[in-house]
Amino acid sequence: MEIGSAANHQEKAGVMSLGWSWIMGLSKKFQEKVVGVANKIKKLGKDDPRRITHSIKVGLALSLVSLFYYFRPLYDDFGDAAIWAVLTVVVVFEFSVGATLGKGINRGIATLCAGALGVGAHHLANLAGEEGEPILLGILVFILAAVSTYTRFFPGIKARYDYGMVIFILTFSLVTVSGYRIEKILVLAHQRLSTILIGGSTCVIVSIFVCPVWAGEDLHKLTALNMEKLADFLEGFGGEYFGQERDDGESFVKDDSKKMFHQAYKSVLNSKTTEESLANFARWEPCHGSFGFRHPWQQYLKIGGLTRQCAYQIEALNGCINSDIQAPTEFKKKIQEACTKMSMESGKGLRDLAQGIRTMTVPSAAEIHIEISKAGENDLKSAVLEDIDDLLDVIPVATVASLLVEIISCTEKIAEAVNELARIVKFKIIDPTVTPEKPHLLHRGSVQPVCFTDSPEHHVCITVLSETEQGTKTLAGLFLERINSVPITTRENQEPVKGARHDLEV
């Protein structure tokens, strides 16, 4: 008996131990979930603190319209229709001012028009008599609902007035159907319209005057940010593509964090929906900051489309970095300078364009980088043609070269679109040659010495432009002269000396 009791006691102790372990494990998992949720909440607010402000604003608007229920004098005037003010705040209040204002105006106008038509339909149906009234009301509801629903398929209507059309159908149906059983139809329509206007006005006032979030400003910043993401990749492409192998043949170890930084351009590929939504909301917003009435938001969509087109080319260029087919190391060294110049200068051009949009200044410096990238394009063609005999070596590089050429073309188109925006909005013009950040470009540089022979018979002739002659040329024109490719001649035969050249760094 004692042995059996001891065994039972040990078995119970084991069960209790397992139960306690299970409870402790469950408690630990619960704590981990709580901590995980808390971290997500913290991260969500840290990523965009405006989300916290928006939540407070919604709570404030709901508290204000709830007074129609809490105070008897207000409730007596509106009755149960006061609930429409609360519902209006819930469905109308959006994150940005433009979205809130657009929904509020859509809801107000749609309610007014539908209420008026509903009252008119009710009086028209009364003329048909008691038996014909429901039939005529049903026909009118069918016609207006069908026509309104079909109208929503038009792209222009769907983009800006889709919510208003839905409210129009809903309000007309409610007023027409409920008016059949209610005698005071005008009172019903007036109460619902008044409460909806009050709720919408509360949303708009709180949205504008309490820490406003402007959709136009977000679109403005997003356009510049997307261009900067492309610039990040292009400026780092040379190191990624030509840094795969060292001179000693060992593999090049890449920094994963830097590589992830260069992958930020991928978000640009899916930015169309966001840009179109922000542009649609921005059209509803009043003048604010540097954005006046009838600001050309459509031009931002044009710039965004060109930026995505450039991002697609960069996506293909990114595939060349880790491609299984690579050119030999020696051949890659020959084209490294030209390719790096093309990608680096294109990236700098995009960065200057983005900075011009951010500061609303004419991005005149971007033209210089674009012209330098075009000069690198010619150097790349020459380097590829020199080794055209080995076709297998040229194919991978030809792919990279063609993509870089397309990127330069896209950058040039983006520059034209940004300059058009600058012309419409009248961006500030800043002299690109004299700024606190940049010294005077025309008087900075060095000439590398030329040493190709010991004979004193050879000479180098360098022409220096005067300040007057320089003033007649644009900065881009100076880079286009291709000074670094001018051949050196001799006194004896005036023929170019093979391999001799001089470089001017500006």
Q: Are residues 197 and 343 in the same domain?
A: no
Residue 73 lies in a domain: yes
Contact call for residues 116 and 128 (beta carbons, < 8 A): no
- Is 272 found in the same domain as 237? yes
The per-residue pLDDT of the chain, averaged, comes to 77
Q: Are residues 280 and 422 in the same domain?
A: yes
**Distance between CA atoms of residues 339 and 335, nearest Å:** 6
Q: Final residue of a domain: which of 430, 453, 468? A: 430
d(CA 46, CA 461): 62
* Statement: residue 235 has pLDDT above 70: yes
Enumerate the β-bridge partners of residue 447: 504
pLDDT tens by residue, 154-193: 988 988 899 999 999 998 888 887 765 556 667 777 777 8
- Per-residue pLDDT at 265: 86
Q: What is the CATH number of the domain that holds 296?
A: 1.20.58.220
With a CB cutoff of 8 Å and minimum separation 6, the contacts of 295 are 216, 282, 425
CB atoms within 10 A of CB 396: 18
pTM comes to: 0.75
CB 118 within 8 A of CB 125: no
Check residue 70 and give its pLDDT: 78
Give the pLDDT confidence of 399-425 residue by residue, as tens digits.
Answer: 888 888 899 999 999 999 999 999 999
Q: Is 446 helix (H, G, I), strand (E, B) or coil?
A: strand
Which residues on adjacent β-strands are paired with residue 490? 458
280: in domain = yes
Which residue range(s) make up the domain with 388?
Answer: 215-242+258-430
Q: 377, 400, 430: which is the final residue of a domain?
A: 430
Question: Cα separation of 316 and 236, whole Å?
Answer: 15
Q: How far apart, in whole angstroms, are the C-alpha atoms of residue 490 and residue 460?
A: 8
Distance CA 299, CA 346 (A): 22
Tokens of 183: 């005698």
On whether both 305 and 421 belong to a single domain, the answer is: yes
Report the percentage of the chain scoring pLDDT > 70.
Answer: 71
Specify the pLDDT at position 261: 56
Q: Does residue 494 have a pLDDT over 60?
A: no
Summarised one tens digit per residue, pLDDT across range 62-120 is 999 888 777 777 777 777 777 888 889 999 999 999 999 999 999 999 988 998 888 88
More confident residue, 325 or 208: 208
In this structure, of 331-340, 368-377, 387-396, the range with the lowest mean pLDDT score is: 387-396
> What is the reported pLDDT for 83?
84
Tokens 């800006």 locate to 160
Q: Which one has a higher pLDDT value, 436 or 276? A: 276
As given in the structure block, the two tokens for residue 112 are: 């007014």
Looking at beta carbons, which pairs linking 168-174 to residues 24 or more positions away fall under 8 Å?
168/110, 168/111, 168/113, 168/114, 169/114, 169/144, 169/145, 170/114, 171/110, 171/111, 171/114, 171/115, 171/118, 172/114, 172/115, 172/117, 172/118, 172/121, 172/141, 172/144, 172/145, 173/141, 173/145, 174/118
In-domain check, residue 457:
no
Residue 361: DSSP 8-state: B
Classify residue 12: in a domain, yes or no. Answer: no
Distance between CA atoms of 275 and 307, rounded to whole angstroms?
12
**pLDDT at position 385, please?**
61
Residue 270's Cα: distance from chain center in Å?
9
Same-domain pairing of 153 and 275: no
- State the DSSP string of 223-292: HHHHHHHHHHHHHHHHHHHHTSB-TTSPBPPP-HHHHHHHTGGGGGGG-HHHHHHHHHHHTT---BTTB-
Q: In this structure, are 185 and 226 located in the same domain? A: no
**Could you tell me if residue 414 is inside a domain?**
yes
- Residues 177 and 276 grouped into a single domain: no
Q: What percent of the chain is helix, strand and coil (3-state, nearest 5)?
A: 75, 5, 25
Question: pLDDT higher for 282 or 132?
Answer: 282
**Whether 312 and 422 share a structural domain:** yes
* Structural domain ending residue among the three candidates 408, 430, 452: 430
Whether 357 maps to a domain, the answer reads yes
Q: What's the burial of 426, exposed, middle or buried (CB within 10 Å: 0-12/13-18/19+)?
A: exposed
- Residue 132 domain flag: yes
Tell me what pLDDT residue 389 has. Answer: 54
Total of domains in the chain: 2
**Distance of alpha carbon 88 from alpha carbon 194, whole angstroms:** 11
Residues 6 or more apart whose CB falls under 8 angstroms from that of 465 comprise 473
Tell me, yes or no, whether 358 and 226 share the same domain.
yes
Instruction: Name the nearest CA neighbour of 216 among 82, 72, 360.
Output: 360
Whole-angstrom Cα distance, residue 435 to residue 433?
A: 6
185 and 230 both lie in a single domain: no
Tell me how far apart the alpha carbons of residues 375 and 338 are, in angstroms, rounded to a whole number.
Answer: 9
Domain assignment of residue 395, yes or no: yes
Residues 196 and 223 in one domain: no
User: Does 444 have pLDDT greater than 50?
Assistant: no
Task: Kindly state whether residues 286 and 168 are assigned to the same domain.
Answer: no
